[in-house]
Structure 1
Amino acid sequence: MSSVTRRRLLARAAVLTLVSACAWSGPASAAPPVTGPLAANPYLGPLGTATMHGDAGSSDVTPLAGPAPGAGVTVYPLGAACPTLLEGADGLVVGLCTAIAGQTPTVFLFDSAAPGPIGGALASLPLTKGSLLGGVYAYLDNEDRLVVVDGGQRLLRVGHVRGDDGAWRLTAAVQADLSSAVPQGDNVTGLVPDWSGNVWFATGHGVVGFAGRDGRVETVALPSGELVANSISSATNGVVAVASTHALYELRAKDGEPEILWRAAYDRGSARKPGQLSWGTGSTPTYFGPVRGDEYLAVVDNADDRVRLIVVRSGSGEQVCSLPVPVGGSENSPIGIGGSVFVASTYGYPYPAVPEGAGPAAPPSAPFRGGLSRVDLTPGGCVPVWDSPVRSAAVPRLSLADGGIHTLRRVGPDATTPLDGFDYVVLDPATGAVRASIPLPGTVAEDPLQMAALITRGGALWQGTVTGVVRIG
């Protein structure tokens, strides 16, 4: 941790609350709203708040409304980067963060109505350390427990309880030991439940499998050299989608074992791009569709010339379209809902570190110009709808309730500096225009680092940053 960061954290020994007006640029577009079904997995917590990407299909869509004009801004200084923020049915927020000191994954519990003593958190629980990406992806089950794999390859369910003294405590129970299934030096990068309650997981070195409800673990290996650097998704028909650094897959549980249904290779380019964390797609596969919410799968490839949005049919892997999008490259999961997909550019984003084995970027660095694009499916294939210049610094989230795309925007020159600032912005999904904005306090210490936001049932947006959490609303 730098001396500058230490001074900033010490200066924020208590939770800071700052209020600013929401600058509305005009009314929303009169065009019909983007809409479609979301598939609710019975083994997950509330729809829209139980996974990093909102649901089992990783739609990055929520049925909840975001902050209202005039929302306040609250900073929780935790000394940890917080990529996973989830809300259970009890209204409490659970965060999975990585401490700056020692890179230890730590679970935090928050109540916005009653901030606690740990940088605003009510309780915390450190987990066994694994790789840089280990301890990033997790989800809340239907009992508000955080399901996560720690660095010891144990599948944990972390619950929270309030004692007779009024203090909250986090407790971890082991559901399964994955150590015999995960090779030495490997770590779980993503996990999701299927519609039968199996907990599927994928490791960085390409082992995919599941732990059954009885704790039994079964796996299958992807081809040698294929890595998995993002999370995984599941659909209502029992299949699970995994994107490796070479191909997109669907798998299912058949006769108690994982089976690969199909493999669809994509163009991974000649090297990792700046602003990406692996050489290949940066997408967690996104399920979407107009009928069930999971008829299609979307990822973004890593082609050298212009990256392409790839859409295939779930169940067969048949390609629906391969459409170039002007986003440079993307480390983010696309938004998918109904017949629309939204892709955000992370090309050139200044990540402070990349995972071991990610390989050099080509070129080594680039300006971060940003960009967000909308693509619609039509009977004839995929068609571009609009391109926005917004420099999204987080994974955007689409709200069906308020009809806006919510994200944080990096403010400053294309050649990023530590003096850059950040705004909370709302975009119109019909046009890509910015409808609202709130300037946020601070600079690099509040960098959202392309992490996903959480919109809660109370109408607040919680955003993980490199040093803690920012809550708007």
Structure 2
Amino acid sequence: MVQIHVSISRKALRIAGATSALMLLAAVPSTASLPTAGPLAPANPYLGPVGTATMHGDAGSSDVTPLPGPGIEPHEVTAFPLMSACPTILQGSDGLIVSLCTTMLGQIPTIHLIDPKAEASPFGRSVAQLPLAKGSLLGGVYAYLDHENRLVAVDGNRQLVRIAHAQNPDGTWRLELSDVIDLSGAVAADDNVTGLAPDWTGNVWFATGHGTVGVVGPDRIAHTIGLPEGEQVQNSISTSPTGTAVATTHALYQLSRKGDDIAVDWRQPYDRGPARNPGQLSWGTGSTPTYFGPSTGSDFVTIVDNAHPTVSVRVYRSDTGAEVCSQPVLTAAGKDGSPSGSENSPIAIGHSIYVAGTYGYPYPTTPEGAGPAVPATAPFNGGMTRVDIDPVGCHVVWDNTIRSSAVPHLSTADNNIYTVTRDGSADTTPLDGYSFAVIDSKDGTQIGSTTMPATVVHDTLQMSALITASGEYFQGTISGIVRVRAY
């Protein structure tokens, strides 16, 4: 799919399914009165608390939380050194934080149980640790907390594991393996699970880097389907009451379980561009698909494509796969003619989508088989864009030049977007600083900023954060976790 140059209203009226999309959006008021928030999909009964049980907040990967964040400054900033990169930070109903990190030495996936109220120790506030078998760079990154506060992940031995935590008689804590299901018969020895999520009936869905999608139900047997040869899955997957969304390096799919079989409900190819962009980890979309919508909370599913030179938000009806609209984004940051791209899952709720640009972000390494970036390096211009769906398509509400260096999250409790920005110039250096940033979701202005620890070991590396039940912000870095909270 090429960049759209015609008006989006003409495009929207031509696409298949436009009539039904217009009916769904007929009640949407004028854009001047549209709220910034909307309904989330119903809570998944097999997940932990809404907003804190997955890397992207919920099963639909909305990157939205009903919890309030720390607000604007002043803030207290505390570093929890773990000698590990911590991309997954989750919180269960008991208030304890479970983080899946990868050690700086040996790149071993390690689970940390963190008590935010505990006194600092050599492991920060980590009160228990448990290593997992090592897989690929992205294998084991995505995990979730289930309704029993157990971490659900797939390790490097292709084992689906559930890790529980419990307190010992002496008051110390332990992490322990409570369940294991062997997936080695369903996942090839040279493959790794890159995405994992439960559906609304208790099945656990997974996708692998080489394009296998599987589901494990109460029978504890993995049923799989192979996607077309050459299509890789390099981001996580999402579920909704409508189905399971999987974005490959070529197309967006929705799948569902039909007995022991997996059915492809629909497939939508997108413009994957001429090559991998600098600042992205694969050639194709960098998005975990995001379910959202003004009616059920999962009326639509969206990704950002990899069109060159300007990427677009693509929105599809979740029930039919019909394209609702396509809108170029991140143009303000590239006003000098620079290309755009995004490795982050978009925020989406109600009628609104928020996209953060990562083009040129200096990742220190990329997954095996990612291929060369073209060009090899580029300035990191960043940028964020809000796109709203309207009765005839979609349009840009605001477009800024904020250089987010983490996955942003939107709080519906205060309508703020929380992230970390990379300071300095677009020509990044290891000496760049970082700042906790608060952005007004209504107009895209930055309304708060607090300096964070400024050394290379505190690079947030476009990793996701956690907003806790107490309003604290926990951000993973390449060496541990940084906590931001209001004084």
TM over 0.5: yes
Residue of 276, 285, 290 corresponding to 1:286 = 290
**Structure 2 residue 88 is the aligned partner of structure 1 residue 76:** no
Could you give the per-residue CA deviations for residues 336-356 of structure 1, whole angstroms, max 9, x where no partner exists?
000000010000000000000
Residue of 142, 149, 156 corresponding to 2:154 = 149
Q: Which residue does the alignment assign to 1:348?
A: 360
**Structure 2 residue 96 is the aligned partner of structure 1 residue 86:** no
Q: Which residue does the alignment assign to 2:272?
A: 268
The runs of at least 4 consecutive aligned structure 1 residues that moved more than 3 Å come to: 30-33
1:172 Cα deviation from its structure 2 partner: 1.4
TM-score by length of 2: 0.90
Residue of 450, 456, 466 corresponding to 1:438 = 450
Q: Is the 8 A contact 1:63 1:399 kept in 2?
A: yes
1:74 Cα deviation from its structure 2 partner: 1.0
Q: Gapped runs of 5+ residues in structure 2? A: 1-31, 332-339
Aligned equivalents of 1:233 and 1:189: distance in 2?
12
1:444 Cα deviation from its structure 2 partner: 1.5
**Structure 2 residue 397 is the aligned partner of structure 1 residue 403:** no
Could you give the per-residue CA deviations for residues 100-125 of structure 1, whole angstroms, max 9, x where no partner exists?
11110000011111145323211110
Q: Which residue does the alignment assign to 1:53?
A: 56
1:213 Cα deviation from its structure 2 partner: 2.2
Q: Is the 8 A contact 1:31 1:430 kept in 2?
A: no
Aligned equivalents of 1:32 and 1:456: distance in 2?
28
Q: Which residue does the alignment assign to 1:38?
A: 40
Q: Is the 8 A contact 1:308 1:325 kept in 2?
A: yes
Q: Which residue does the alignment assign to 2:13?
A: none
Q: Which residue does the alignment assign to 1:333?
A: 345
How many pairs does the alignment contain?
443
Q: Is the 8 A contact 1:154 1:174 kept in 2?
A: no
Q: Which residue does the alignment assign to 2:388?
A: 376
SS at match of 1:122: strand
Letter in 2 for 1:61: V
**Structure 2 residue 304 is the aligned partner of structure 1 residue 303:** no
Residue of 84, 96, 114 corresponding to 2:118 = 114
Aligned equivalents of 2:377 and 2:468: distance in 1?
36
TM-score by length of 1: 0.92
Aligned equivalents of 1:427 and 1:215: distance in 2?
44
Percent same amino acid among aligned pairs? Answer: 58
Could you give the per-residue CA deviations for residues 406-459 of structure 1, whole angstroms, max 9, x where no partner exists?
000000111000110000011011110001111112222111100111000011
Q: Is the 8 A contact 1:329 1:346 kept in 2?
A: yes
Aligned equivalents of 1:331 and 1:115: distance in 2?
36
Higher RCO, 1 vs 2 (CA within 8 Å, ≥6 residues apart): 2
Q: Which residue does the alignment assign to 1:137?
A: 142
Aligned equivalents of 1:112 and 1:125: distance in 2?
18
Q: Is the 8 A contact 1:247 1:265 kept in 2?
A: yes
1:305 Cα deviation from its structure 2 partner: 2.4
Could you give the per-residue CA deviations for residues 228-282 of structure 1, whole angstroms, max 9, x where no partner exists?
0000000123x10000000000000101221111110001011000000000000
**Structure 2 residue 406 is the aligned partner of structure 1 residue 394:** yes
Equivalences for 1:122-201 in 2 at 5 Å? 122-201=127-206
SS at match of 1:81: strand
Q: Which residue does the alignment assign to 1:256?
A: 260
Could you give the per-residue CA deviations for residues 53-91 of structure 1, whole angstroms, max 9, x where no partner exists?
000000000000011432211101101000000000000
**Structure 2 residue 65 is the aligned partner of structure 1 residue 62:** yes
Superposed CA RMSD in Å reads 1.2
Aligned equivalents of 1:389 and 1:65: distance in 2?
25
1:469 Cα deviation from its structure 2 partner: 0.3
Q: Is the 8 A contact 1:175 1:215 kept in 2?
A: no
Q: Which residue does the alignment assign to 1:454?
A: 466
Aligned equivalents of 1:74 and 1:124: distance in 2?
20
Aligned equivalents of 1:442 and 1:429: distance in 2?
26
1:31 Cα deviation from its structure 2 partner: 7.8
1:326 Cα deviation from its structure 2 partner: 2.4
